[in-house]
Chain A
């Protein structure tokens, strides 16, 4: 069953073309990653899907409800953690979470039970009666996630939920995301952290300049770089290495290959012939980051 549908979404801000036709579908129970460089249009897409912005053209549906025409119904089934947003600083954690519960029309007893459960799970229950003003960044973000989950939503939008957090807070949030998906709920996740996306997502859309470059599973995206082994070589000087599937990063090259022995010989030959010093060489498996960079380069 398809629960998030975007069809040719376009959005301009003055002269800036933020979205130039975004289309995709997300199935129930999926963790769907949205990956792209700064300014690609990720947050704009999230804001349209969460009924904050209206698209200039195109359609979007949440649980079958049109985000422009059936706004309240669409909003009722989602939980949102916006990219930059705060809880009310002069309200306590408890007051903040109960405010959201009331706005979703939850019954008081049900809301209290769930709030207690969430705050305990995220380790902020002892501080529930303290004003949010004094919370650390990680505590604030964990509270924001509790607020997003209080209504037990079918679909959850998380816009860079772990950016800028310490390892512990980030891990807590990631574990919760997996748990949510296990309950057959749908998660829409934007992130700059490739490991996170690789670990969590069932499918990933790569966006750039307001368009979708590709949508695929992390595994298949990784295999698209042109080989199952990545060889990293750094040279002492700036050199031009002409090998198939070689990507340059300053004085460093990454070469994707299915025949590492042959490629390493070629690299060593090259170093010997051109007289450049080879500082290091190592092999690893391609990462999602490799795929991401490669696909964005092909776009240019």
Chain B
């Protein structure tokens, strides 16, 4: 219950912050346009890319800025004196981040339906799991104990862009050379993209259940690491 209170605070405080809007909403939109214009690609391939990118950017844009901002605004010490554990704070932040990711994902989903594409309902649990996984990943970006949100934004961009390119969004995994396939397996976004493509009627690279299991595995790993790292990092922000 206490993490709900934290999430509510995060929503009011951070959803409308400049970097969150720019990196979470505008950036995937521009990337998508750049990818689309002047090319003759099938609509379902494009929309699959848009959905993956939107969920990924939206879910990784809220969670990393919370901790540095709290340090900079000097609200952190007040929060830490309350009878809550780091885990509660981390869960609250993740909840706020998931809600943002899922909320924003409604836009490309409506777009897909508007274009008359058929969506397999498996995409719904996939978006929820992916928003969770990417929110945990986002928290790892802010494990570096600085109070400058801009530094954290830079770190997260350095990690997010390469992930976009190795995750089968722009080029289907099936068409990659063997080394490319190997690299793409390192990115959690690959598995989500795979599910999205299936739900839009394309062939999958891995069996669906495997995509889900691996995505869940990444989530748990990221979450455990985030809790551990933030336990130390939060104190160094005071």
Contact = CB atoms under 8 A, between A and B. Distances in A.
A296 interface: no
Q: B-side binding surface: helix, strand, loop or mixed? A: helix
Contacts of B85: 71-72
Nearest to B13: A90
Contacts of A76: 83
B235 interface: yes
Interface residues of A, number: 30
Interface residues of B, number: 24
A272 to B, nearest CB: 58
Interface in B1-21: 1-2, 4-6, 8-9, 12-13
Interface of B: 1-2, 4-6, 8-9, 12-13, 73-85, 235, 238
B81 A51 contact: yes
A89 interface: yes
Interface in A194-241: none
A88 B5 CA distance: 13
Interface in A136-165: 144, 147
B89 to A, nearest CB: 10
Contacts of B81: 50-52, 75, 78, 80, 82
Contacts of B12: 88, 90-91, 95
Contacts of B73: 86, 88-89
A86 B74 contact: yes
A270 interface: no
A104 B9 contact: no
A91 B13 contact: yes
B93 to A, nearest CB: 14
Given A78-B81, A105-B83, 5 more contacts: A52-B80, A86-B78, A88-B9, A100-B78, A103-B6
